[in-house]
Amino acid sequence: PTTPATRATSPNEVPAADYLFAESPEYRRLKQTMELATASGLKNPYFSQHEGITADTTTIGGKQYVNFCSYNYLGMSGEPSVIDAGQQALEQFGASTSASRVVSGEKTIHRELEKAIADFIGVDDAIIMASGHCTNESVIGHLFGPGDLILHDALAHNSIIQGCKLSGALRRAFPHNDADACGKLLEQYRHEYRRVLIVIEGVYSMDGDYADIRPFVDLKEKHKAYLMIDEAHSIGTMGPTGRGMSEFWSVDPTRVDLWMGTISKGLGSCGGYIAARREIIEYLKYTAPTFVFSGGVSPANTGAALAALRLLDAEPERVAKLHSNSELFLTLAKKAGFNTGPAHGTAIVPIITGDSRLALALSMGMFERGVNVQPILHPAVEEAAARLRFFITSSHTEEQIRQSIDLLVTVRDEVVKKIAAAGPVAI
Interface contacts to ligand PMP, rule CB under 6 A: 131-133, 136, 157, 159, 201, 205, 230, 232, 262, 264, 272
Question: Min. distance of Cβ 69 from ligand PMP in angstroms?
Answer: 12
- Residue 80: partners with Cβ closer than 8 Å, 6 or more residues away: none
Q: How far is the CB of 201 from ligand PMP (least distance, A)?
A: 5
Q: Which residue, among 338, 364, 347, has the nearest Cα to 418 in the 3D structure?
A: 364
Distance (Å) of CA 114 to CA 87, 122, 311: 19, 12, 16
Closest separation in Å from C-beta 71 to ligand PMP: 7
DSSP assignment string, 255-289: GSSEEEEESSSTTSSS-EEEEE-HHHHHHHHHH-H
DSSP E strand stretches across 137-212: 149-153, 170-174, 196-201
Least distance (Å) from ligand PMP to the CB of residue 271? Answer: 6
Asked if omega into 379 is within 30° of 0 (cis), the reply is yes
Q: Could you tell me the smallest distance in angstroms from the CB atom of residue 70 to ligand PMP?
A: 12
CA nearest 228: which of 190, 198, 183? 198
Nearer to ligand PMP, 131 or 353 (CB): 131
Smallest gap from residue 215 Cβ to ligand PMP (A): 20
| Least distance to ligand PMP, CB of residue 229, Å | 10
Residue 41, Ramachandran bin (φ over 0: left; ψ between -120 and 50: alpha; else beta): left
CA dihedral 183→189→192→193, nearest 10 degrees, is -50
The rounded Cα 326 to chain-centroid distance in angstroms is 18
236 contacts 259 by C-beta, under 8 angstroms = no
From the CB of 132, what's the least distance to ligand PMP, in Å? Answer: 2
Burial class of residue 124 in the structure, from the number of CB atoms within 10 Å of its CB (0-12 exposed, 13-18 middle, 19+ buried): middle
Least distance between ligand PMP and beta carbon 161 (Å): 11
* Closest to ligand PMP by CB, 131 or 177: 131
Nearer to ligand PMP (CB atom), residue 118 or residue 263: 263
Q: How far is CA 146 from CA 115, 195, 222, 226, in A?
A: 33, 10, 23, 16
Residue closer to ligand PMP by CB (options 128, 386) is 128
Radius of gyration (C-alpha) of the chain in whole angstroms: 23
Please, which residue, 296 or 365, has the CB nearer to ligand PMP?
Answer: 296
427 Cβ partners below 8 Å, 6+ apart?
338, 339, 351, 352, 353, 354, 355, 358, 362, 412, 416
201 vs 355, which CB is nearer to ligand PMP?
201
Query: Smaller CB distance to ligand PMP: residue 264 or 356?
Result: 264
Nearer to ligand PMP, 239 or 272 (CB): 272
Instruction: Report the nearest approach of ligand PMP to the CB of residue 196 (Å).
Output: 21
Strands (E) in 314-416, as ranges, are: 348-352, 371-372, 374-376, 387-391
Percent of residues in the chain assigned helix, strand, coil, to nearest 5 = 50, 15, 35
Nearer to ligand PMP, 276 or 407 (CB): 276
What's the angle, vertex CA 59, arms to CA 54 and CA 63, rounded to 5?
A: 160
Q: Based on CB atoms, which residue is closest to ligand PMP, 272 or 299?
A: 272
Q: Which is nearer to ligand PMP, 173 or 427 (CB)?
A: 173
Q: How far is the CB of 115 from ligand PMP (least distance, A)?
A: 20
- Are 318 and 79 within 8 A, CB to CB? no
Q: Are strands 348-352 and 387-391 parallel, antiparallel or unpaired?
A: antiparallel
